[in-house]
Structure 1
Amino acid sequence: MSARPQVDSVLVIRARDEATKAVTAIGSALEQLIGTQKKVAAGSETAASGMQQILGVLASLDKAYARTTEATDSGAAALERQNRAIAASKAQYASLEQQQRGAARAADQLRVALVEALLTNGNADALRAQIVEVTTEMRRLESESGKLQRSIAQQEVGYTRAASGMAELERTTRLAGSVSTFAATEANDYARSLDNQSAAAQRNAAVLKSIARVTGTDRGAAVDNGA
């Protein structure tokens, strides 16, 4: 059995584990987002600091989801290689079976010819030599066929394991996509909320400054400062 199918089986499982890690990272990013919202709301974080953290969350979400996509692509490619390898092995096995049947027919024909040669004083020695050659070839084909059959069984076990891992990988990727989309939406909405709060604060400051200028309170403040 070629080592390639075994490697591909391991690659699928590794891809599944990588996607699981990415989902964990996405979950951590979501927790960070919620934590940032709480801190800004409590006043322990400024809006500017909160915005900076939100940008970091969005970047980590993109990176984590990209990892799940890469893992899925890698796993699917490895599984397809395994499928092609099994198909090739089965085709080779079918060919060996056909060769065995051909060799068996040839052996039967040679035995019939040998009987006739013995009855008619024909060249029996040449026929015996051919029967030995065909018999040797039949044994070789039978041995090779048996080895290939065992190899196919191993390949199919590996494929079943990899297919199970791939199904889990696909579920994990869908979960990652859902959580990532939700977290990204929340992060973007919260970022817009912080922008709106900042803009509102700037407008309020401008209004207060205008009022102070009209009422002269800003001049009073200036005189007091001068004194």
Structure 2
Amino acid sequence: MAAEIHYRASTQRIEVLAHLFFYGQQATTQIGAAIETEINRLFNEPQVSFPVRGQQATVHFTVTQECVDFHQVQQLARHNTDYKNNFIRIEAQNLLTRSFMGFGLGDNAGHWITSDELGFSTTATHEFGHGLGLDHPAHPDFRGSGSPPPIMAARGSLVDAPYQWNPLAQAGAYGGTMKPIYRRVTAEEVRLILEGLTFANTDTYLLGHLSNRLFDPVGRVIPI
């Protein structure tokens, strides 16, 4: 996702702002609302503080969304220069058989599928993390941590038994990998998003990049 980051000195708060435009045959108000609720809940759950100008500022994510038709999203994407705006197609399935963001970490375009249980499985929040520049962890083995896996853990990661599809399965065997619903945003992941931002000479940063690409129903790029 592209996003805007603002430091509010009066409240000692860092605000991460993003707006999601959903389009496609499965882009409904119900799915949109569920995604919005999940992303805001999980990203604000760690209650992270971040050093700014010698003081600790609280970090708060505000993600909003709306569903638009294809004509509307074409017009919006064609002329978009706003880093808060992201364009996500929602369909029942696509060629990759998984939800994805479009053109590298930090892109503002994606294609998500309803079979990923958007808004209820952490998949939407995981993809949102990719849009904010977060990659999968280099070592996908979280056994022994005693904690839920991080939000950017990839499917197939090894986790403590309570976080597996089947807690009784052998690690790595069928049922013995991470069940995505157990992922949680960690404080470290939030700080990685803000890494390198000093706020020394500005109160505002623009995060990500604007490809403004759109997709057809199965996930192929289409002209706007």
Question: Which of the pair is proportionally richer in helix?
Answer: 1
Question: Which of the pair is proportionally richer in strand?
Answer: 2
Band of TM-score, shorter chain: under 0.3
Query: Which structure exhibits the higher relative contact order, with contacts defined as CA atoms closer than 8 Å and separated by 6 or more residues?
Result: 1
- TM value normalised by structure 1: 0.17
- TM value normalised by structure 2: 0.17
